[in-house]
Amino acid sequence: MTALPSIAQPRGASLGLARETRSARRVVGFVVVLLAVLVVWELAKWLGGDPWRIHGTVLGLRIDYEHLPPTHWRIADDLSLPHVWDVARAFVDPAQRNGPPLGLVLAGQALFTFREAVIGFVFGGLLGLGLAVWFVHSRLAERALVPYVVASQTVPILAISPIIVSATKAGWLSVAIVTAYLTFFPVTIGALRGLRAADQRAFELFRSYAASNRQILWLLRLPSSLPYLFAALRIAAAASVIGAIIGEIPAGIPDGLASAIINYNQYYVTAPERLWATIILCSVVGLVFVGLVKVAEGRLLRGRYRTLDLA
């Protein structure tokens, strides 16, 4: 008797190929957008920046090029907007005379800031999730406190951070509190929406089996809220990096990216590309953190997405 051909393996292979295709498209899209930004950057300088004078040798070929832009835009001059290659060269130039490259120094400061951002992210995420669970089970608490949760985000963080630093005597704890202040809000709102996202028929089924509120929370509400929760966590991850940098300023922490921003801002006139390099690395830290949350989401929800694809 001839065995029927199996369709599980081809379907699994097709799903794996589809995931690889989507990942490749994301990478290609990111690269295309990045190249477009760089082209627009240099095009703006070519049209309205300072005169170009390129003299040197590349691969044995002598290059002598001079260009006078047809217009002049203050935002496109070399002080406001350095050339892309000048910013790239700043990463390999010594941070100090006979010192290590600037990129290596900034990498160490970025790692320090990233650790602070992770601590604040955890504190803020747990606080936001705890508030959302409380609000879901208490309409009175939700009506009374949600307006204050929203109002808390209207206070400038630059005004709050010195108070927090003064109350906690500076250090990593004050930075973590400032970071948590920025991150708990999106987690609270996202988790609150997600905890109510389950189908009402599922709630009725659980109640028909006399399930307790705790059982409904762990078996129904939390699993249904994961897509909403991870969307909020991605926002919170980006905000945590901003909060960590802002918190380092009044705390006077010399090991993070905030000190690099302050330092290179003071010498911006003589070396603007160093501040731009620091800004780029701040963005990279935020993108890496958001990417890690996205990876965690993909691993945790892989089975759910596979079920949806098979359906």
Domain ranges of the chain: 18-81, 102-310
CA–CA dist 237, 255 (Å, integer): 21
Neighbours of 152 (CB within 10 A): 13
CA–CA dist 104, 108 (Å, integer): 6
Model pLDDT, residue 130:
96
Q: Are 193 and 142 in contact, with CB atoms under 8 Å apart? A: no
CA–CA dist 221, 257 (Å, integer): 39
Model pLDDT, residue 276:
95
Q: Are 241 and 118 in contact, with CB atoms under 8 Å apart? A: no
Q: Are 244 and 179 in contact, with CB atoms under 8 Å apart? A: yes
* Bridge partners of residue 101, in order along the sequence: 94
Return the amino acid letter for 156.
Answer: P
Residues of the chain with pLDDT under 70: 1-19, 303-311
Token pair in block for residue 242: 């901003």
CATH of domain 102-310: 1.10.3720.10
Which parts of the chain fold into alpha helices (H)?
Answer: 8-48, 84-92, 102-137, 139-152, 157-168, 172-195, 200-208, 213-216, 222-251, 257-266, 272-300, 302-310
Alpha carbon distances (Å) from 271 to 52, 100, 265, 266: 18, 17, 9, 10
Neighbours of 168 (CB within 10 A): 16
Q: Are 132 and 139 in contact, with CB atoms under 8 Å apart? A: no
> Which residue in this structure is represented by tokens 């990045």?
34
